[in-house]
Structure 1
Amino acid sequence: MHTANRWLVLAAVMTAFLPVVVDLTILHIAVPSLTVALGASGTEVLWIIDIYALVMAGLLVPMGTLADRMGYRRMLLIGLILFGIASTAAAFSPSPAMLIASRAVLGVGAAMIMPCVLAIIRTTFEDDEERAKALGLWSVVGMAGAAIGPLVGGLLLEHFWWGSVFLVNIPVLAVVIPMVWRLVPKSVGTGSGEWNIAQAALLVAGLVLTVYGIKTGMKGGIDGVVASSMFAGLALLTWFGRLQVSSSNPMLDLSLFLKPAIAAGMLMAFVASGALAGFELVLAQELQYVLGMSPLNAGLFMLPLVVAAAVGGPIGGHLANRVGLRTVATLSMAGASSALFGLALVDLMASRLVTATLLAVLGLCLGIGLLASSIAIMGSAPPEKAGAAGALESTGYELGGGIGITFFGVMVNSLYFSAVSQASPAAADAGGSIGEAMTTALRLGGDQGEALRQFARDAFSEAHGTVLLITGVMIAVLAVAVFMSLRGAERMGAARH
């Protein structure tokens, strides 16, 4: 690689990575707009949001193995083209089902892009110091992309329709595809690892069926379809687990969970990414549905949360080296729990400064928690299993995000539905989510529509507060578990950042 070219290669792959991370959060702010436009139910909205992360999580490891075989440049270009096609299809989706399918294909494209970006950086920068600098720049782009997602979404929705949050990817891809074609050198695939696409399909199918059963069951009760879906999903996940344990070349090395620090790190990665993604989604809905904010103002209101989460990683790495991993990991979870309790009890609009402070504390603590989980996992893995540990960690993050959105969305929607069905059968007929109630209110119009809107706002706000209290208790319990599990890991250094 020519000296002058390698930084241009880094610019190309970081630009390729940007739409993938922005798409994890940009849609949160667009939920109210697309719910009304497409007439999406509460369950459909949750699928639109988290099918992306669920598909990506299941395919990250096998796509990485396939990229080793095909060559990173070829795989990256295919992934970018697929991402562009799926973005266009999503933007012009006429129905919730079409949008869910498009988001699933986006997840496939993202799973092809992400492993290639890291692999190209590692092979392009041979000097350890330069590689560390390049990976540092890459991580900043990742954190900043997720942080600006809601703000970019708000800006677009201020002037355009909801599909613009997908269509914005096209100009970026139009620039980055020629950059990758011209700048990234051709490489011949050298990987010989087993390509477990069947196992990946098993994992994705198991997750989707289980999550479908949970979402549908909590909204409409357990019937034959729901029970069958959950049973089939859990059976597939159990089968997947057995295959990993018995295989000599498993897709995910589950034996790593036998180390307490790795198990604690995975739990932290899962909970921290899930709490951040789920809370962001529900907060964006409350700000727009209940408090009447525009998408742009909602994006600005959420800035303390997302910016603090973005800077939490570097701060966490510094603190872990100074005071030890166990202390940092425990305090970050305890801080996140306290912030959730505060947000459940405070009036978001009456105490703007207090709210902004609590949002910043929550974001900072969850960002630090994600970094601490990375240190625990990568620092405890034996050198010969570092690749497997990295794959496990990435899968944990993506799964955490998807399941977190499911947990927050299903809990809020079920508590909301319980409140409206007990108090007003007419309101219950409007559906199982605030989005469905707002769509019905728009159709009714007049005093009847406004009464339904106000009733739905009150029920949703109360449900959101209850879920924050439940989550706060869960993370407080996790803080104790982390403190117990990381005994002896006090001075583990920062592995990634």
Structure 2
Amino acid sequence: MRSNPWLVLSSVILAFTPVVVDMTVLHVAIPTLTLALGASGTEVLWIIDVYPLVMAGMLVPMGTLADRIGYRRMLLVGLAVFGVASIVAAFSTTAAMLIAARAALGIGSSMIMPCILAVIRQTFEDDAQRANALGVWSVVGMAGAAIGPLVGGLLLEHFWWGSVFLINVPIMMIVIPLVWLLVPATPGNSEAVWRPWQAVLLIAGLILTVYGVKSGFKMMPSIFCLIPLLAGLGFLTWFASIQMASDNPMLDLSLLSKPVIGIGLLMAFVASASLAGFELVLAQELQFVLGKTPLEAGIFMLPLVIAAAVGGPLGSRLATRFGLRIVASLSMASAAFSLLAIAFCDLAQDTYIVAGFLAILGLALGIGLLASSIAIMGGAPKEKAGAAGALESSGYELGGGLGVTLFGVLVNSIYRSSFSDPSMAKDGAWNSIGEAMTVARAVGGARGVEIAAAAQAAFGTAHGSVLMLAGIMIALLSVAIFISLRDTSPEHEHP
């Protein structure tokens, strides 16, 4: 008997929700788990960005594997992996254990994500109904990422930091039986070509490159950070050459030869990187420097995340009316303006002014993400729409992961350079503000207060400097977009 399509949609949307919430739920939890696990600044960055990095590398091959074995089977396996990894993450006793669990969460998510859209497309044969179903999927995706910090804050108000992961378990216990009962079992396509080693090559390249960058910023550049950096870049170059030479590539990089697609991918990367990196740094500033609770930090960030969720649907209408070139360049210019303005604000005193700039930033980045999608999908030939979609998804996930890395290493680098007291290096407080607060709590007394105050001052300086640098870079990008899209053809101007 054929299941009600809207019940099928409900089951897969329920499966999709924790995947997108996990993108941002940790941002307000990082200060708490840093103190609980004694995590270093580098470990904190890995805890955050190993999830999107692994997911980015595995999305396309897991989609191909789902084609081979059937979407329901792959979805059920992915949900089980996600549930087990959530339990391990919740009860992690060390930073390394949590990083491994987050990597496993990324693998589970990469199994779930491709199946959601595939099931929706198979379930809804009517074009109008399918459009409505995809609209629900889009709204849940944006809203899920938007409410992540608030969910994290609410949980940490009443429970320990592991609750942000453990909440996934009852959801999985509900959704797995629903998927088993409601989603039809369809035969897989045994002819689909699966190349897992290419995904391993991509992930190895990304992780080694990120490791080299993080190590180089944490210490004086040496052979120990140069070797993994060069190896990572070598793996990525090898991966790219394989894709360019293949008749059936995992990622069709030849699409980047079209300027509109290249600009669109760059926008997707920058917008998602800015949103993820800024949220992480802001959460640390609010809790470590201003002393806010996780819930208060989540509420403070609401204008940013709600406006980002609204930006997508609004961006579609703006692009239709004014054209891609104007909307894309102005969205990036507005984001740059907001970052520069926030850099000069006092977060403790200018609460309402900062809230306004946060809303502008979120709206601009949300519109920018939508504009990037229009550029990529509008610039791709119809027969390569699937390849363009895979490229776009990879850009989003890589942006989120690498944004955390870039913002994090820059903040920590400027933070360390702001200390003039050599004893701070001896105490270990100069590595990151999280480590400084751990040291301050362990030392206690007047010395502990002194360490905490020095760390807060240094982090405030670093936070403002990084926002100014990011604002200037995005402003330059907005100019590049305006120039690059001057010859955009009409068919690329609208979604």
Q: TM-score range by the shorter chain?
A: over 0.9
What CA distance in whole angstroms lies between the structure 1 residues aligned with 2:77 and 2:328? 39
Q: Does 1:329 align with 2:328?
A: yes
**Deviation readout 1:235-256 (Å, 9 max, x if unpaired):** 1111111111111111111110
Q: Secondary structure at the match of 1:28?
A: coil
Q: Secondary structure at the match of 2:487?
A: coil
Q: Does 1:83 align with 2:82?
A: yes
What CA distance in whole angstroms lies between the structure 2 residues aligned with 1:411 and 1:376? 30
Equivalent residues of 2:323, 2:494 under 8 A apart: no
The AA in structure 2 aligned to 1:399 is L
Deviation of 1:222 after TM superposition, in Å, equals 1.4
Deviation of 1:384 after TM superposition, in Å, equals 0.9
Question: Residue in 2 aligned with 1:14?
Answer: 13
Deviation of 1:116 after TM superposition, in Å, equals 0.1
Deviation of 1:52 after TM superposition, in Å, equals 0.2
What CA distance in whole angstroms lies between the structure 2 residues aligned with 1:286 and 1:358? 16
Deviation of 1:487 after TM superposition, in Å, equals 2.0
Deviation of 1:192 after TM superposition, in Å, equals 2.7
Deviation of 1:485 after TM superposition, in Å, equals 1.6
Matches within 5 A, 1:45-124: 45-124=44-123
Deviation of 1:193 after TM superposition, in Å, equals 3.0
Equivalent residues of 1:319, 1:328 under 8 A apart: yes
Match of 2:425 among 422, 428, 436: 428
Q: Does 1:26 align with 2:25?
A: yes
Question: Residue in 2 aligned with 1:195?
Answer: 194
What CA distance in whole angstroms lies between the structure 2 residues aligned with 1:29 and 1:144? 17
What CA distance in whole angstroms lies between the structure 1 residues aligned with 2:237 and 2:121? 35
Matches within 5 A, 1:72-471: 72-190=71-189, 192-420=191-419, 423-429=420-426, 430-431=428-429, 432-471=431-470
What CA distance in whole angstroms lies between the structure 2 residues aligned with 1:178 and 1:293? 40
Question: Residue in 2 aligned with 1:473?
Answer: 472
Deviation of 1:486 after TM superposition, in Å, equals 1.5
Q: Secondary structure at the match of 1:189?
A: coil
The AA in structure 2 aligned to 1:12 is S
Equivalent residues of 1:65, 1:191 under 8 A apart: no
Deviation of 1:387 after TM superposition, in Å, equals 0.5
Equivalent residues of 1:308, 1:364 under 8 A apart: yes
Q: Secondary structure at the match of 1:27?
A: coil
Equivalent residues of 1:69, 1:189 under 8 A apart: yes
Q: Secondary structure at the match of 1:29?
A: coil
Equivalent residues of 1:307, 1:363 under 8 A apart: yes
What CA distance in whole angstroms lies between the structure 2 residues aligned with 1:68 and 1:82? 19
Q: 1:490 to 1:344 in 2, by over 3 A?
A: farther
What CA distance in whole angstroms lies between the structure 1 residues aligned with 2:368 and 2:255? 20
Deviation of 1:191 after TM superposition, in Å, equals 5.8
What CA distance in whole angstroms lies between the structure 1 residues aligned with 2:438 and 2:277? 23
Deviation of 1:174 after TM superposition, in Å, equals 1.1
- TM-score for both structures, normalised by structure 1: 0.98
The AA in structure 2 aligned to 1:302 is M
Equivalent residues of 1:325, 1:490 under 8 A apart: no
What CA distance in whole angstroms lies between the structure 1 residues aligned with 2:188 and 2:425? 57
The AA in structure 2 aligned to 1:213 is G
Q: Secondary structure at the match of 1:93?
A: coil
The AA in structure 2 aligned to 1:424 is D
What CA distance in whole angstroms lies between the structure 1 residues aligned with 2:405 and 2:42? 9
What CA distance in whole angstroms lies between the structure 2 residues aligned with 1:465 and 1:195? 46
After TM superposition, the structure 1 stretch with the greater mean CA deviation from structure 2, 257-266 or 191-200, is 191-200
**Deviation readout 1:474-494 (Å, 9 max, x if unpaired):** 101110111112123364355
Equivalent residues of 1:41, 1:435 under 8 A apart: yes
Equivalent residues of 1:28, 1:284 under 8 A apart: yes
**Deviation readout 1:356-400 (Å, 9 max, x if unpaired):** 000000000000000000000000100111110000000000000
- TM-score for both structures, normalised by structure 2: 0.98
Unaligned residue ranges in structure 1 (runs of 5+): none
What CA distance in whole angstroms lies between the structure 2 residues aligned with 1:409 and 1:117? 32
What CA distance in whole angstroms lies between the structure 1 residues aligned with 2:67 and 2:484? 35
What CA distance in whole angstroms lies between the structure 2 residues aligned with 1:122 and 1:49? 32
After TM superposition, the structure 1 stretch with the greater mean CA deviation from structure 2, 479-488 or 256-265, is 479-488
**Deviation readout 1:201-260 (Å, 9 max, x if unpaired):** 000000000100100110112122111111111111111111111111111111100100
**Deviation readout 1:77-117 (Å, 9 max, x if unpaired):** 00000000000000001101100000000000000000000
Equivalent residues of 1:83, 1:105 under 8 A apart: yes
The AA in structure 1 aligned to 2:288 is Y
The AA in structure 2 aligned to 1:406 is T
Unaligned residue ranges in structure 2 (runs of 5+): none
What CA distance in whole angstroms lies between the structure 1 residues aligned with 2:236 and 2:108? 23
What CA distance in whole angstroms lies between the structure 2 residues aligned with 1:110 and 1:326? 34
Equivalent residues of 1:327, 1:490 under 8 A apart: no
Q: Secondary structure at the match of 2:418?
A: helix
The AA in structure 2 aligned to 1:427 is M
The AA in structure 1 aligned to 2:375 is A
What CA distance in whole angstroms lies between the structure 2 residues aligned with 1:416 and 1:349? 20
Equivalent residues of 2:21, 2:145 under 8 A apart: yes
User: When the two structures are aligned, how many residues end up with a matched partner?
Assistant: 492
**Deviation readout 1:32-78 (Å, 9 max, x if unpaired):** 11101111000000000000000000000000000011100000000
Q: Give the root-mean-square deviation of aligned CA atoms.
A: 1.0
